[in-house]
Structure 1
Amino acid sequence: MEVNGILTYDGCNFLRQRLVLSMLTGKPVRIRNIRAKDAQPGLREYEVSLIRLLDCVSNGSHIEVNISGTSVLFKPGVLLGGILEHSCPNQRGIGYFLEPLFMLAPFCKNPLDITLKGVTNNKIDPSVDMIRYSLMPVMKKFLVTDEGLSLKMTRRGLPPGGGGVVQFTCPVRRTLRAFQWEDSGKVQRIRGVVFTSRVAPTVANRILEAAKGEFLNFLTDVYFTIDNAKGSSPGYGLCAAAETNKGSHLSAEAMSNARGEETPENKLPEDVGREAAWRLLEEVYRGGCVDSTSQPLVLLFMVLAPTDVSKIVLGPLTPYSMHFLRHLRDFFQTKFKIDEHQESSLVGEDEEEEEEEGPRTGASKLKLTCVGSGYTNISKGQV
């Protein structure tokens, strides 16, 4: 809803989407009734931290918050970038702050080099490992080159203590390119990392063996690295990624319960390994050229591409991606054409043989098509 030239929304949901799209389009946004009926109304600490981060990345942003914190008026400035450092509250993971930066970083005036401190792995947000496996390949595909693009974790931090340190660097681009990405390929190998912190060394091996026991039923090229971190909080987990012969990456993860977390029972290392494996197999079943975590980033880059047709095949859309499509329509006036993807027959061109082949394995796929808005980074003088 637009009121006096300001896009207005109610509620705290999808705050990141609205602020990121406001930064890219330059349109001011007002968010009202943020937990107005809650026992503790208003913005949470991590949401305030996110707004401060966006203010640091930009120049000239104007932010107004009412006394109770239940209403925010955000007038975006110019994306500046540069060398920055930000401490993230331990209530949310560093992934909560990294995802918006992936959307904004290519369109800054200066290459972004930011150091984030906080929790690297938790159950709510994508971990830094998962972002490396999932979002980084998508960024490389759009930026064409990976020169200057990196995501390094110098220290791992688990909840509730945190203490992790992550450095993200990204080059700038004047424009993106339109693309057609319709073939996800077949899974040819599985890679991943098993991480532990302040637990017995044998825990990592127990997680690894449980996960490999699930994957080896389907393929033999399975390899995991082990990261025994010396963090402030105990815990363990696994992040796994499936790579296809067409350059697609599908990822999933699972981790132990955090210290002080109210849960009916503790997870054994074998449970964590099997849970991560099952989640990755579910992502493979869902299919598509990118996994659930990367869907919003791909949809955004399709809208920001030049005024040409872009296509991609995705698995079932997540609720977060569905709302992101609505916000893209509000800010860019861009609509997607969504069709059911018909996979090419593996038997031949004979229709009778195709009918006899039976139902396809995996979830139904969607083909999303849109015409890019021709977005240009006005601060970047050259491609």
Structure 2
Amino acid sequence: MRPILIDGSMGEGGGQILRTSIAISAVTGRPIRIVNIRAKRSNPGLQRQHLTGVQAVATISNAVVRGASVGSTELEFIPGELRGGSFEFNIGTAGSVTLVLQALAPLLFYLPGPARIIITGGTDVPWSPTIDYVREVLAWFLRKLGLKVTINLQRRGHYPRGGGRVEVVVEDPPGSIEGLELPERGGIVRFGMRSHCVNLPQHVCERQASSAERVIRSHFGDAEVRVELEPRSDGLGPGSGLAVWSYTEKSVLGADSLGEKGKRAEVVGEEAAVKLVEDLSTGAALDRFMSDMIIPFLALARGRSIVTGARLTRHALTNIEVVRLLVPEASIQYEGREDGFFKLRVEGAAITRK
């Protein structure tokens, strides 16, 4: 089969094109060739975290890969048969664990048996979802789509030292993805948040959480807010962050923010809470981050999906473009304007385990 050509400079031109492409290739068995990888970034080509993502997907799909080296702007990926088992992947830097997991997530539905995957690197680093967002929001959607998955945080890792460790356990892969109908979020049931700090005074956790809770209560009054403080001293740190999420009648929406040198703890909490409040105000069932992450799953799924997203980002538009190339059997239509609320309708390709 001739490889499908993917231009990595399309749309937002970043690493998500690579992650979506190799994931769908591994699931469908369709070989791909990607050129101009991360062409619109200041440091184009594969970096360590991207390379680890490629190696992880290749290992689990028994793929033949050409061009997998740091700095490479072209990659050929020829997938084989998926396999379960135990795997460990070490990014070797503070590269994002959650972005490697994002590349692996579609494969987990189609594995022929149970899997345990350990990923080491950055769990809470810039330009990627934090591990708490993944555990509380992404994992909820994976379960909603039919996957029984457990994501355990064993150690946090921050920029620049990394060293975080995450375990992903899948016991009984379903062999397919269920469609999703979430045209609205329904009423708010309660809020949760987790404020962490590693090798820093506990008051950093407390101030982050207090600030986030003030923002939530200023908009939602007496809503139930469950706060978890997580001061730790077992990481390479220092580092801090906060994730906040809202359970609604039909969905879960979330947001996060990270601390950095010179940034007040109160700002960290406020940033996360403001993003969540903005997304909740749209009435959408998916926050701005899940709005783009969900697209490959729905294209592979069985049957029709209808969801609403808080923000039609460039990431989402690019993901739609990539998925249309790789899964032409799926029909993907959306209504809405860029950076605004949108409705997504997908007739899935009904891909099942081989």
Give your verdict on TM over 0.5.
yes
Residue matched to 1:164: 164
Stretch of structure 1 that moved more, 4-13 or 132-141? 4-13
Structure 1 counterpart of 2:142, from 130, 139, 142: 139
Structure 1 counterpart of 2:350, from 351, 374, 381: 374
SS in 1 for 2:145: helix
Once the two structures are TM-superposed, the CA of residue 152 in structure 1 deviates from its matched residue by 0.6
C-alpha distance in structure 1 between counterparts of 2:68 and 2:121, whole Å: 28
Amino acid at match of 1:74: F
C-alpha distance in structure 1 between counterparts of 2:272 and 2:32, whole Å: 38
Residues 139 and 43 of structure 1, relative CA distance in 2, 3 Å threshold: closer
Structure 2 counterpart of 1:244, from 234, 242, 248: 248
Amino acid at match of 1:371: E
**Residue pairs, 1:209-358, within 5 angstroms:** 209-217=210-218, 218-220=220-222, 221-230=224-233, 231-246=235-250, 248-257=251-260, 266-306=262-302, 308-333=303-328, 334-339=330-335
Amino acid at match of 1:314: G
User: Structure 2 stretches of 5 or more lacking a match?
Assistant: none
Matched, 1:151 2:151: yes
Amino acid at match of 1:177: E
Structure 1 counterpart of 2:18, from 15, 19, 27: 15
Stretch of structure 1 that moved more, 228-237 or 38-47? 38-47
Residues 75 and 239 of structure 1, relative CA distance in 2, 3 Å threshold: same
Once the two structures are TM-superposed, the CA of residue 51 in structure 1 deviates from its matched residue by 1.4
C-alpha distance in structure 1 between counterparts of 2:272 and 2:318, whole Å: 27
Residues 219 and 57 of structure 1, relative CA distance in 2, 3 Å threshold: farther
Residues 371 and 130 of structure 1, relative CA distance in 2, 3 Å threshold: same
Stretch of structure 1 that moved more, 32-41 or 249-258? 32-41
C-alpha distance in structure 2 between counterparts of 1:96 and 1:212, whole Å: 28
C-alpha distance in structure 2 between counterparts of 1:285 and 1:45, whole Å: 37
Residue matched to 2:65: 63
**Residue pairs, 1:184-223, within 5 angstroms:** 184-217=185-218, 218-220=220-222, 221-223=224-226
Once the two structures are TM-superposed, the CA of residue 39 in structure 1 deviates from its matched residue by 9.1
C-alpha distance in structure 2 between counterparts of 1:364 and 1:51, whole Å: 32
SS in 2 for 1:158: coil
Contact 2:286 2:309 in 1 (8 A): yes
Residues 92 and 286 of structure 1, relative CA distance in 2, 3 Å threshold: farther
SS in 1 for 2:158: coil
Q: Which has the larger radius of gyration?
A: 1
C-alpha distance in structure 2 between counterparts of 1:326 and 1:340, whole Å: 16
Amino acid at match of 1:162: G
C-alpha distance in structure 1 between counterparts of 2:39 and 2:196, whole Å: 39
Kindly provide the CA deviation profile for residues 177-231 of structure 1, in whole angstroms up to 9, marking residues without a partner as x.
3342223112221101010111112222222222211112223211210111112
User: Structure 1 stretches of 5 or more lacking a match?
Assistant: 259-265, 342-362, 379-383
Contact 1:196 1:203 in 2 (8 A): yes
**Residue pairs, 1:15-34, within 5 angstroms:** 15-34=18-37
Stretch of structure 1 that moved more, 225-234 or 24-33? 24-33
Kindly provide the CA deviation profile for residues 215-255 of structure 1, in whole angstroms up to 9, marking residues without a partner as x.
12223211210111112121222111111122x11111111
Contact 1:151 1:166 in 2 (8 A): yes
Contact 2:181 2:307 in 1 (8 A): yes
Amino acid at match of 1:7: L
Residues 338 and 4 of structure 1, relative CA distance in 2, 3 Å threshold: same
SS in 2 for 1:79: coil
SS in 1 for 2:307: strand
Q: In angstroms, what is the RMSD of aligned CA positions? A: 2.6
C-alpha distance in structure 2 between counterparts of 1:188 and 1:200, whole Å: 32
Contact 1:195 1:237 in 2 (8 A): yes
Contact 1:134 1:293 in 2 (8 A): no
SS in 2 for 1:251: strand
Structure 1 counterpart of 2:82, from 79, 83, 101: 79
C-alpha distance in structure 1 between counterparts of 2:132 and 2:42, whole Å: 35
Once the two structures are TM-superposed, the CA of residue 5 in structure 1 deviates from its matched residue by 4.8
TM-score (structure 1 length as normaliser) = 0.82
